Copies of this chain bind each other. A is one copy, B any other.
Amino acid sequence: MTDNTRLSPGDTIGILGGGQLGRMLAQSAASLGLKSHIFCPDPNSPAFDVSSNFTVAPYEDVDALDRFAAAVSVVTYEFENVPGPTAAHLDRKVAVRPGARALSVSQDRLSEKQFLADTGVAIADFREINSQEDVEQAVAEFAGKSVLKTRRFGYDGKGQLMIRTPNDVANAYERLGSVPTVLEALIDFECEVSVIVARDLDGNCASYDIARNHHENHILKTSTVPAGVAKETLDAARNMAEKIVTGLNYVGVMGVEMFLVKSGDSEELLVNEIAPRVHNSGHWTQDACLTSQFDQHIRAVAGWPLGAATRHSDVVMENLIGHDADDWKAVLEEPSAKLHLYGKAETRDGRKMGHVNRISSKAT
């Protein structure tokens, strides 16, 4: 439903997904006087603990979706892989934000790249791949290193294959499951950065400072702000991010990941991927900004004006992954650290259990 719904305090935001992102969205909603209703198939969802209402049901349960739609004023989601039919069904009953187009574009790596290219933001060269022959032809055209990625359901490095040697090419299509894929030119980047951008119902945009991201085992480990890039690069990043959300007629917060490429003194940015939701690399905003990305997303999907995306402190966000979270006591002893834990019952390797924001005075 494309409408102009604007919420009032006391109204309810429906959230698809009950993980840590849904949890932190529900916490921001509560601070702003809104209620939240979490919809998640997992009966142990950490978001249930902090929301006024929740539904445990599969995303395909049409009756449960109808009751959910009737109980809320607007629907948003914490993950981009909301099944298309679920989003479409809800969209006929209630405003779904950021919006169906953002979901369909970001669920398919090829559509995403085509959209980004059409929008005029810089991206790495890519080819659509539907066979082993396609792989071989594209690798030859790129004449360099490349990476093969499935079009759907990839995250944290899953569904990817590096192609550096002829051996890597052999059976590559089959090794990724013989599903539609995209071949991307491999970029020799300095680092990954990201922009958290928001757009409201009236089309106003606000983007936070860019963060420099460091990954370990393909999972985000730290985000550092300021990122240590030129002012022009910062402006360019924000510019691209705002172009993207405007192009999608987007309402809410989006995470835009970019590669920073250096040649000599010049810095160039290539958009890697977009996430139509609050983003792990924006958790630093909770303690370094007056308006966090979670507050910002709630404001946008409520049809409210955006808050300022300014920053009062420098910050390094560190993810607590798996047994990292066992160190919570040591974190509590650090005077400049703020501990965030997600209330997950079971610690598993690779599972995001919490994060820490370490702030310091803003360097001038």
Report which A residues bind B (CB closer than 8 A): 9-10, 23, 27, 30-35, 48-52, 287, 290-291, 295, 299, 304-305, 307-308, 310, 312-313, 325, 328-329, 332-333, 335-336, 338-343, 345, 354, 357, 359, 361
Contacts and interface: CB of A to CB of B under 8 A. Distances in A.
A30 B10 contact: no
A33 B342 contact: yes
Find the residue from A48, A329, A343 having the highest chain B CB count within 10 A: A343
B328 A308 contact: no
B35 A31 contact: no
Given A30-B49, A49-B35, A313 B312 contact: yes
Contacts of A338: 290-291, 295, 307
A27 B345 CA distance: 18
A33 B359 contact: no
B341 A9 contact: yes
A52 B184 CA distance: 45
A131 to B, nearest CB: 48
B312 A33 contact: no
A333 B305 CA distance: 7
A141 to B, nearest CB: 49
Given A312-B312, A312-B361, A336-B290, A30 B50 contact: yes
B9 A343 contact: yes
Looking at chain A's contact residues, is the secondary structure mostly helix, strand, loop, or mixed?
A: mixed
B312 A343 contact: no
A233 B341 CA distance: 38
A328 B343 CA distance: 31
Nearest to A24: B31
Contacts of A310: 335
Contact of A345 (B10, B290, B332): B10
A168 B360 CA distance: 55
Nearest to A31: B340
Contact of A307 (B51, B52, B295, B332): B332
Nearest to A33: B341
Nearest to A315: B290
A335 B305 CA distance: 10
A308 B335 contact: yes
Given A50-B52, A310-B335, 12 more contacts: A10-B343, A23-B30, A27-B31, A27-B50, A31-B340, A32-B339, A33-B342, A287-B290, A290-B357, A295-B338, A304-B332, A307-B335
A338 B30 CA distance: 13
A98 to B, nearest CB: 19
Contact of A343 (B35, B50, B342): B35
Nearest to A320: B33
B339 A290 contact: no
A203 to B, nearest CB: 16
Contacts of A308: 335-336
